[in-house]
Structure 1
Amino acid sequence: MTGPEGMEALARTPPWVRAFYDAYLSGDALRLEAVLHDEVTWLISGPADWVDLFGARRGKPEVIELVTRIIPCYQRLTGFEFEHVLVDGDHAAMAGRLCAFQRETMRAIRVAFAHFLQFQGGKLIAMRAVCDSFDALEQITGCRIALVTEPGRVQGNADDTVIPV
């Protein structure tokens, strides 16, 4: 799941935190069902209009669909490299890198993330995730994202090509 330092930090967390990450990585609906609260809310910040793995989900069915059906359309999760782990009662904050393989090309993907988790009765009731969504999209699609610096111009074009706006 993690490198040696992250594994050591994760080993000191409550069992429900480890159970959540184990279920998340497994992609198994029954294991997810066991660790998710019925009223779970889930938000991955990012351009949800472009990629449907970003955005908000509410309730077990939506979260389970995200983890078991939608995320695998883009990538196969292989682990988390936790760099920072903070637990206070039923709240946990984790930061590090998500590790995966791009679904079609099997290119390795590593994306910086932060997870803010809240548990109730040992089950995940709220998850907020922040990631470097530009980097994630570039790695998932294999294409550089061009930034528009002024109307009609794309930064980095050698020929200064103008695109319609």
Structure 2
Amino acid sequence: MADLSVDPKKLDVAEYLAAMDAATVEGGALRTAAPPEFATMVKRTSGDQLKALDASPMRERVLETIFGRMGEAFRPDKLSSSRASLVRWHVGGESESIYETELSPTGCTVTEGTSDSEPRATMTISFPEFLKLASGNANAPMLFMTRKLKLGGDIGFASNLTNLFDIPRS
């Protein structure tokens, strides 16, 4: 999967992790893939492979890649407010990672960790479900209804977040 053309369904978990290791290094295929390629790769990845990825060192590289590309996918023209809004993401699973996205009419700024600022919305989701959401392979309302996505703060704003980004489709 160094070029994301290898079908994850044809790989066992160890082969998948080795491929993801190559794909997530600096300049690797995951970091340079077009969003639809990423979406297709996630769609074809099994639950066991996602759990193994969650427990691996590649987890943080995958999250860095996704959050690092949010600015490119952000649609400031869809933002209904002229004020900046902070969204805090708690991505759980084998460990917890926290990212903050500040959304404003001028763009999307991402930082890792928690700031002293009060978020307008807080999203709590597991790593596998976050990958599915970020790749367009799950929808936020269904994740919320099945309690796989927890929202805090301004629920109305949080429920509209997916409309603020060009989310890939496989």
What TM-score results when the alignment is normalised by the length of structure 2?
Answer: 0.28
Larger radius of gyration: 1
Q: Choose between structure 1 and 2: higher strand proportion.
A: 1
Q: Choose between structure 1 and 2: higher helix proportion.
A: 2
What TM-score results when the alignment is normalised by the length of structure 1?
Answer: 0.29
